[in-house]
Amino acid sequence: MKNGTEDSKLLIGLQNSDNNSFRAIYDKYSEDLFSYAMKVINNRTVCEDIIQDIFIALWSKRENTKISALKPYLFQAVKYQIFNHFRNTKFSNEDLTRLNIIDVSMNVSQKLEYSELETRIRNHVDKLPHRCRQIFVLSRYQHKSNKEIAKELDISVQAVKNQISKALAFLRSNLQLEEVVFLSLILLH
């Protein structure tokens, strides 16, 4: 829990306008956030802009934003910015391939609000069996590794992998195209 305690201290510093806390947050997370964005977009300039926008917003809204967990908050912000990027630009064939969408001719222009889409996916996640859901949330929303989850739940890494595979199979079979695109963003971490 050392990381959580450290992040809590950094958040308090950030809310108190401490430049050193902000810099420490940037130094700790910017590279991982950038790498995550590059896995999806594969455009250095766009990814740099996304990360810059996230940290500008973090600083400018520091006194009014309630953040309970820093790492998930930042990764969620990247997902939101990536979703907006794709929503505001046409999907290229390369983007579609990267997001595991095979039929390029399908209409992906329907614009769903991020929060509505996230809610719909979370509703599907809530339908998973308890243990399967618990492992999926730890992996995809809290960005924990399979090894961390196995240790936390006192199960094998293979059991974690099996439950994640089970969750993904269920979600893919129950999601619409737009939801699959968004799910792909969740899966990359």
Quickly list DSSP for 165-189.
Answer: HHHHHHHHHH--HHHHHHHHHHH--
CATH topology of domain 102-189: Arc Repressor Mutant, subunit A (1.10.10)
**What is the architecture of the domain spanning 1-89?**
Orthogonal Bundle (1.10)
pLDDT of residue 157: 93
Per-residue model confidence as pLDDT tens digits over 145-173: 899 999 999 999 999 999 988 988 887 77
| Residue 168 near residue 125 (C-beta atoms within 8 A) | no
CA atoms of 23 and 90, how far apart (whole Å): 35
What is the pLDDT averaged over residues 9-21?
A: 89
Residues 6+ apart with CB under 8 A from 33: 51, 54, 74, 75, 78
pLDDT of residue 18: 87
**Residue matched to tokens 């769903």:** 112
Task: Give 24: exposed, middle or buried? Use CB within 10 Å, 0-12, 13-18, 19+.
Answer: middle
CA atoms of 169 and 172, how far apart (whole Å): 5
Residues 6+ apart with CB under 8 A from 95: 41, 86
pLDDT of residue 122: 81
Binning pLDDT at 50, 70 and 90, where does residue 129 land?
Answer: very high
pLDDT of residue 37: 86
The pTM assigned to this predicted structure is 0.51
Q: Per-domain residue ranges for the chain?
A: 1-89, 102-189
Which token pair is 138? 């730890």
Per-residue model confidence as pLDDT tens digits over 77-113: 888 888 778 776 655 545 545 554 333 323 333 334 4
| Residue 150 near residue 123 (C-beta atoms within 8 A) | no
Per-residue model confidence as pLDDT tens digits over 28-53: 999 989 988 888 788 899 999 999 99
Binning pLDDT at 50, 70 and 90, where does residue 26 land?
Answer: very high
